[in-house]
Structure 1
Amino acid sequence: MSTEDDPRPPSRDDQVAALRPVYQADLADGLDRFFEPRRESCPWCGSARLVPRLRTRDLIQHKPGTFVLDRCEDCRHTFQNPRLSPAGLEFYYRDFYDGLGEKQLGNTFAARTKMYEQRARSLLAHAPAPKNWLDVGTGHGHFCESARTVYPDTAFDGLDFTDGAELAERAGRVERGYRGSFPELAADLAGHYDVVSMFHYLEHSTEPERELAAAHTAVRPGGHLLIEVPDPDSRYSRLLGRWWLPWLQPQHLHFVPVENLRRRLTELGFTVVAEQHAEPHDPVDLLAGTWLALDTVAPRDNLPWLPKPPTGSARALRAAVLIAGIPALVLGTLLDRFAVKPLSHRLGVSNAYRLVARRD
């Protein structure tokens, strides 16, 4: 562990040991306070015709809890039910994008430059030279940094409910970083932006329709809204079940079918000018599904929300399971990138869709 005379940062095991009492105190009273009451109607259309679609656990962080996704039989909207409460959102997000998970996630996002540039280019045909752009759910601003290579004369701002937007501003990835709720900040941003983007943000929102209304407020007339979200109609969502990465429970609260989103944007005063399925597909489904399965079978790593660290034999068993799974991981990677990706839309397995909408 670091001291005043030793500037080295604490090891991960030291960080986990320091966090364990905090997490154990959070869990001492059970999990009920982390969930709101169960809904009896669809949050999108109000229908009471709900059926269970998925029951799963936290397959990424392995925090305790069981999570249920219900599907509306009328509008086909899928949503977490019961939904996480504010206390639950804080608990399950903690140490994912920040703290213990900050370095790993930051490296992952920073390495996706080509994907970010492709997202930015999807708007070129509709807005070749926007003056300014607000990226909502910007994280640490890596998309804005990459998009600047496509739009060198555009001023990029970022908004996030974590301190990521402030970190992005300090790092120079965005000109202005807003921290807070988009619906609450939208009035101050009214009609200010040529472009507002939401890349894999809407599914995290407790009330996606308020986010869409906020976007309509922030985009100036004639400007554009760019949205990318997981596609709940992907065949992989059924074939892979709980091992389909975009379910990402418990963080993803809403899964909106594309026709629902198109209709709501039209009602708000947008015209959808482009719909893409093949382009936003991220070729990781089989690799990620294999990893999630191996990581679930193998004993857990040292995590502060577990009551004690794993023993030496448990660590050895985990290493053995993961090594044995390497051929499956390699095969999944090859299939994802070279067999499935070129045919993803034709096969109906695209894991995301993207809409470009112009404010009328």
Structure 2
Amino acid sequence: MSRESAIPRTPEKPSRAETVAALRPRYQADLTRGTERFFEPRRTDCPWCGSTRLARRLLTKDRYQNKPGRFRLDTCRDCRHVFQNPRLNGDGLEFYYRDFYDGMGEIELGNVFAGRDKVYRRRAMFQEPSAEPPKTWLDVGTGHGHFPEVARTVFPDTRFDGLDFTAGVELAERTGRIDRAIRGSFPELAEERLAGSYDVVSMFHYLEHSTDPRAELRAARRALRPGGHLLIEVPDPECWFGRLFGRFWLPWLQPQHLHFVTVANLREELTALGFTVTAEEHREPSDTVDLLGAVWLALNAIAPPDDSPSLAKPPGRLRWLLRCAILLAGVPALVVATTLDRLLLKPLAGLGKMSNAYRVVARCDASAHSGPR
């Protein structure tokens, strides 16, 4: 036996087509009873303020994974809260999240998040350089831990824990991006296990995914020590581009985003919980890809992504060729959109309602209370 033949070979990873084929039976079994079972009953009142003055904001499809279903966002005419209505239930959340951040989508999304070091470093630098570095930091909705990995370069002596529902948080611990993986529901864990444990709690693009944003804010209050800080970054539902581009505005991200809290509502809630808002930023957190995202989603609407396990069978070669042709024809529009985003819209971020996201930093005062409202 040769030396080369004695070395065990690493099994080849299955191709995308093989992966899709392996996943298809489970998806098809889930879809035999339709998608209506994935939703809770439709609400007639606002989940934030209780008003019954609701108006439809958006009706769209899943333009990312091309899974079947229709999704509606409503706006409260009184408090301006935007929310998914009817909202996905537990089974629906599992179905539509499946293979997006983990599983089939793990590598693709991991590469996207891994290339944002500059953004993550700016997020971490929320306090004055002369301030004492935090000793403990909990990143809620950490995913695969890319933010804590970069934040550690700013605070090398800080212990970074990560919390999430998915197995990605355990991967983050194994790869050393976080010190401790915590898997589960933040409101449940904060009640006792995490109470008073952290100097900083961060929620970067997490609150919009939660079924109950107020419960998450109360959990943050319980997890923080007096004088600790809460960092929140979310899409801004009052951004002009949300109305201009409609269902092609990237931050709507249906069906994953369930709640869009206005900055006024968030400030009011934080104050009621006993926080003091120390900073509100619109220019810095704005991820200026509005035009590029709109063009890309429009192309996906014209020529949906090719094969996916939610399709009963793989699409034919003609459809694949048609999608390739449409995407090729759309390259000039993508280039123009990217240029305009960077050269025109980025300098305007922060003016009026041009920012697609906002960030709030709030200090947890000693007299803060965390009871339900």
- Counterparts of 2:359 and 2:305 in 1: how far apart (Å)? 36
Aligned length: 357
Deviations 1:288-339 (A, max 9, x none): 1100100110143111101111111111110000000001001111111121
- Counterparts of 2:131 and 2:70 in 1: how far apart (Å)? 44
- Counterparts of 1:46 and 1:27 in 2: how far apart (Å)? 33
- The 3-state SS of whatever aligns with 1:325 is helix
Residue in structure 2 matched with residue 57 of structure 1 by the alignment: 61
1:331 to 303, 328, 336: 336
Range that drifts further, 342-351 or 120-129: 120-129
Residue in structure 2 matched with residue 192 of structure 1 by the alignment: 197
1:210 to 212, 215, 232: 215
Residue in structure 1 matched with residue 237 of structure 2 by the alignment: 232
- Counterparts of 2:294 and 2:223 in 1: how far apart (Å)? 37
1:12 to 7, 13, 16: 16
1:250 to 238, 252, 255: 255
Deviation at 1:151, TM superposition (A): 1.2
Residue in structure 2 matched with residue 83 of structure 1 by the alignment: 87
- Counterparts of 1:104 and 1:286 in 2: how far apart (Å)? 22
User: Residues 125, 254 of structure 1: CA spacing in aligned structure 2 closer, same or farther, 3 A cutoff?
Assistant: farther
Say whether residues 1:101 and 2:90 are aligned partners. no
2:53 touches 2:76 (CA, 8 Å); kept in 1? yes
Say whether residues 1:68 and 2:94 are aligned partners. no
Deviation at 1:5, TM superposition (A): 7.8
Deviation at 1:124, TM superposition (A): 3.9
Residue in structure 2 matched with residue 276 of structure 1 by the alignment: 281
Structure 1: gaps (5+ residues)? none
Structure 2: gaps (5+ residues)? 1-7, 366-373
- The 3-state SS of whatever aligns with 2:193 is helix
Deviation at 1:117, TM superposition (A): 0.6
- Counterparts of 2:311 and 2:129 in 1: how far apart (Å)? 50
1:151 to 139, 150, 155: 155
Query: How much is the aligned-residue C-alpha RMSD, in angstroms?
Result: 1.3
Q: Which runs of 4+ in 1 moved over 3 A?
A: 123-128
Residue in structure 2 matched with residue 180 of structure 1 by the alignment: 184
- The 3-state SS of whatever aligns with 2:154 is coil
1:232 touches 1:255 (CA, 8 Å); kept in 2? yes
User: Residues 350, 86 of structure 1: CA spacing in aligned structure 2 closer, same or farther, 3 A cutoff?
Assistant: same
2:31 to 27, 30, 51: 27
Range that drifts further, 5-14 or 286-295: 5-14
Residue in structure 2 matched with residue 132 of structure 1 by the alignment: 136
- Counterparts of 1:5 and 1:230 in 2: how far apart (Å)? 46
User: Residues 299, 281 of structure 1: CA spacing in aligned structure 2 closer, same or farther, 3 A cutoff?
Assistant: closer
1:123 touches 1:356 (CA, 8 Å); kept in 2? no
